[in-house]
Amino acid sequence: MKMRSVEDYIVPWVRTAAPYSDQHMDFAWSHPEVVRMMSNENLIPPSEQVIDAVVEAARQGNLYPGSGEELRRKLGQAAGLDAENVLLGNGSTDIINIVINTFLAPGEEAVIPSPTFSMYAARVKVNGGVPVEIPLGPPPAFDWDVDAILAAVNEKTKLIFICTPNNPTGNQIREADLRRILDQGIPTFIDEAYYELEEQPRTLAFLVTEYPHAIISRTMSKAFGLAGFRVGYALADAGLVSYLNRVRIPWNVSLISLAAALAAMDDLEDQQRKREINCEGRRYLCEAINQIPGLRAFPSEGNFILIDASSLGRTSDQIRDDIIQRGIFIRPMSPHNMKPGYIRVTVGTPQHNRRFIEVLRDYAAKALEEKDG
């Protein structure tokens, strides 16, 4: 009997799904000379307080971590909740996967306003679900079309994703609009990855006490600058968290990562410094980009700026490749279903930001000259 290919045993939805690509990270690590302004990382290194905590935790690296009870307690208190309302993840991507696995069976649907973080649709597909993407309104507002979202809900809808501030558009959903969505009673994933970096931080975490099907997702990758440590968490009704914990793999957050997160939470001075640098850099970038002929920067509440560079007559991928040749790595927005010429840049240090504006100003001028000539 002829041996069957191992592919014959792979479930159909995995065979046909396209995974979320992390090749841009491999490129960045192999080209350290290129400034990483493509993935919304915090470009300020961890504080010495974090480094000291990591070294101390490493001395106990022979032991399994616990459930992160102290970290869960502190995160819960910061949101006006309890440790039982907190689910820890290996980054917020782990939280996304846990939530999808909890609610979505193969063939069932998740409603996803788009453009947004493309990880949602990618993981829904890998888990056998069906992403139902609802376009956001036109620029510059990029408003959520709540009527269209509600119209897309049917008996197969088991999950709704809302990212606020939204990646890549940078805008926040209105509380009244979110309440209309939550009033449907469908599990709703509310991604607050960037909320600490808003000009006036406005969390919606209080809604979990009113809506037991609401899940607030957070990360320590952005404002706290711990992307490499992979610490994310969810805030939700304690009963819902108990179900999510059935899906969560034990010890999913390492001993070192727990120590780094606790130290970062205690280092209030470093938190404030990183926040101020981001807010000032975001304002500078938006104003400077809007002064460059042919370009338009949209207001943002995250650590990134969305740019309409379509007037340059080049695709998003072309612009990225050209800017890389000038020493800066930015992100094309084609994977986010945005029109050609849309790009996104991460807010960096003041030096990074100034260098980017110099490069972008020169690049745009030459591109327009070439297009018009």
Following DSSP, what letter does each residue of 262-277 receive, concatenated? HHHHH-HHHHHHHHHH
- In terms of DSSP H, where are the helices of the chain? 12-16, 23-30, 48-58, 69-78, 92-103, 119-126, 146-152, 175-182, 238-247, 255-266, 268-289, 316-324, 350-372
- Answer for the pair 344, 168: CB distance below 8 angstroms, yes or no: yes
Identify the sign of the CA torsion 209, 210, 213, 219: negative
Rounded to two decimals, the pTM is 0.94
CB atoms within 10 A of CB 372: 7
Residue 361: its pLDDT value, please? 97
Residue 123: its pLDDT value, please? 95
pLDDT, tens digit, for every residue of 168-220? 999 999 999 999 999 999 999 999 999 999 999 999 999 999 999 999 999 99
pLDDT, tens digit, for every residue of 132-150? 999 999 999 999 999 999 9
CA gap 299, 278 in Å, rounded: 14
Residue 22: its pLDDT value, please? 79
List, in order of start, the domains of the chain with CATH numbers. Answer: 6-44+269-372 (3.90.1150.10), 48-266 (3.40.640.10)
Residue 373: its pLDDT value, please? 67
